[in-house]
Structure formats: structure tokens, C-alpha cells
Structure 1
Amino acid sequence: MSTMNISLPESLKSFVDRQVSRRGYGTSSEYVRELIRRDQDREHLRVLLLDGAAASDPVVVDPAYFDGLRVRAVERGGR
């Protein structure tokens, strides 16, 4: 694993320390890694949404669409 050092003003360091304590992270590094993973997930979702919006065959998303998703989720073992 690589190491990265960052400089933070005291107010941000205090915030990170509080988050580590309140959320049960073992270290500030665990907290920062989680933030980065969430950002990666958001970026991936953004790409998927933009790709879907640019698709040549748009899908109508209405109540029937979501009903179909629920049926498929139940069939696959979801709730």
C-alpha cells in the first residue's frame, strides 16, 4: 500500500478526528479511504447515468418500470 501525506488546517483535522471517533473508524486513513471510495462510486454512477442518457433507445421510467424492477428483484431473491 502506498502512503500519501496531506496537510490540513486545524479545523479540518479536528473534523476528521471527530468523524473517526463518532463513526467508529480505527484511523483517519480508514476514514479518508472511505471518502475516496464513495467518490469513486459517485463518479461511476455519473458515467452510467450519462451513458444511459445518451443511449439511442431511451427507456420510459414510470411506475410500471419500477414495478418490473421489483418483480425481477424478488425473483432473484431480493425483498
Structure 2
Amino acid sequence: MATMTVSLPGPMKDWVEQQIETGAYASSSDYVRDLIRRDRERRDQAMTLDELRQLVADARASGESDESVGAIFDRAKAIIRSRGVPRG
């Protein structure tokens, strides 16, 4: 495994140490690996700007919907949940 040295301001270092003290992580390296893993997953799930533009273009081209706004939001929420996108 490769080694990387990271410098953190005091409050961030304290935060990492608190996470280790809770027993959730074995070491600072374990904590940072988990953060990187989560970030990669989040980025893999994120839409690119081009994908978003295409989605908007497709929506405009499809015309008006007979669905209610509430039904559209419910469908969108279901899609988000199915993708495992964290709420934020």
C-alpha cells in the first residue's frame, strides 16, 4: 500500500481523532479511506452537466405532461431512492 502524508488544521485533526475514539474507525488512515470511498461512490452516481442538459432538452421536447406536479415529484423521489443517492 502506498503512503501519503496529509496536513490538517487542528480542528480537522481533532475531528478525525474523535471518529477513531468512537470505535467507528481503527485509524486515521481507515477514516480517510472511507471518506475517499464514499466520495468516489457519490461522484459515480452524480449526473454530468452534459447529461443534465440532455435531460432538460428531452423534457422540453416531450411537451406538457398530464401528470400532476406532486406525481412528478413522487416519481423523481423514487428514482433518487432507487439510486441510493444520499439526501443533502
- Sequence identity, in percent? 36
Q: TM-score, normalised by structure 2?
A: 0.54
Query: Tell me, which stretches of 5 or more residues in structure 2 are unaligned?
Result: 60-70, 76-88
CA–CA distance in structure 2, aligned partners of residues 10 and 53 of structure 1 = 41
Q: TM-score, normalised by structure 1?
A: 0.59
Q: What corresponds to 2:9 in structure 1?
A: 9
Deviations 1:7-59 (A, max 9, x none): 111111111000122252110100000000100001000048x748736877x
Count of aligned pairs between the two proteins: 68
Q: What corresponds to 2:45 in structure 1?
A: 45
